[in-house]
Amino acid sequence: MTLLPPQHGLSLYLHIPFCRTRCTYCDFNIYTNLRHLYEPYTEALCLEVERTLSAIARRAYHPLMPLPPVPETDDALLPLYIETVFLGGGTPSLLSPTLLGRIMASIRRFGTIRDDAEITLEANPGTLNLEKLKSLRVMGINRLSYGAQTFDDAQLKKLGRAHDSAEIGRSFALARESGFDNISLDFIYGLPGETLESWRDTLDKALALEAEHLSLYGLIVEENTSLGKRVLAGKLPVPEDDTAADMYLLALENLAQAGYVQYEISNWARGSLEKYASRHNLTYWLNRPYIGFGPGAHSCFAGYRFAVLKDPREYIQRIQAGESVIDTTEAEEVTPELKRADTVILAWRTNAGLDLQEFKAEFGKPLDEFYPGKVARFLELGLLEEGRNAADHPILRLTVRGRLLSNNVFVEFLPGD
């Protein structure tokens, strides 16, 4: 069983499932009022990391088997290089520097974090002071991702966010003062009652900060969320698809004029993709192996896709007992059919598109032979376009219209269709 392609290091995602409050739109695996679990949870997470990485380094790892105990000696360990680390959530910035430092130490115990590794911490505005930011820099965290969401204070209240628009600017300034030179800001568009003009104002204020990276996500109304229930009850207006599309097109225009380069449907880097595109997220979109730790975290590694069970209390108990924390009911082997579909769909999320020559080399046949007639249909509909990349290989990528209707394209390439 091949664990890692030789040319790539590992990408690690570590889930911190704690938040002060649950936002009205959020259906992520997060929990509030569990501050008493911060320390025991961190210890459990560190054990999962150490057991996993030591097992991989000793070639004793299988995703669906209980993790072996950490060895008493480091003999016979293979070098294990770490390419990216992403501390996500939840709100990882709620943890103390001591606990965050413990997590980073657990990675370094059996893994070698490369000198140029990208190490990201997600944070909410207002959760990091200058002292804490400087501590993050010392422990090796070199990229921040702030969940700003909007500069409209009325919308922030509607979303249940704990910060106001002014706090976004203050938090950004503190990050700069502490030495962070790679900062990403997340925003949501298509909010109930949001207008094109209010979205334009959010974009203008975001661009004024000159963050290295921007992520802009269209709102998805989930039925089981507070926001979703209010929309279904008619208490909030349903976001208009046409308005949301206009907001996306406005973002394309304004960000390009400001020097941002789009590299994925929802993501832009300022000036240089090489310096500021999210290398961790590119791991997903390039369909490379990654491992997730903590409740609800997903992995694609060692020939399987799998996830950790969701309840943090059960997670801690199982780790302490030396039991597996993988939810085997959701695990699946990555078949050639599934890998092909993932490769196509994930590549089409990116502006670089799908390299047809590399696809044929990897899977043995051209794309059309696996999906006869489908590419031609989407080319005719104007949702796909042909081109050539820097290596002069033929590519297929989504058009701007195709990005607006991407799910209509992707569903046609799912396994079994």
Residue 332's pLDDT is: 95
Residue 7's pLDDT is: 54
pLDDT tens for each residue of 212-268: 999 999 999 888 999 989 988 888 887 778 899 999 999 999 999 999 999 999 999
Residue 307's pLDDT is: 97
| CA Rg value for the chain | 22
- Give the H or E element holding residue 301: strand 298-301
SS3 content of the chain, % helix, strand, coil (to 5): 40, 20, 35
Averaged pLDDT in 10-residue chunks for the chain of 417 residues: 55 97 92 96 98 93 91 75 96 97 96 96 96 97 97 94 95 98 97 94 98 96 90 83 93 98 97 95 95 98 96 97 94 95 97 97 96 96 97 97 95 84
How far is the C-alpha of 78 from the C-alpha of 132, rounded, in Å? 34
pLDDT tens for each residue of 291-317: 999 999 999 999 999 999 999 999 999
How far is C-alpha 271 from the chain's CA centre?
21
pTM of the model: 0.95
Beta strands in 154-270 (DSSP E): 183-189, 213-218, 260-264, 267-270
Residue 3's pLDDT is: 41
Residue 79's pLDDT is: 84
Residue 417's pLDDT is: 47
Residue 8's pLDDT is: 66
Q: What are phi and psi of 339, to 5 degrees?
A: -65, -40
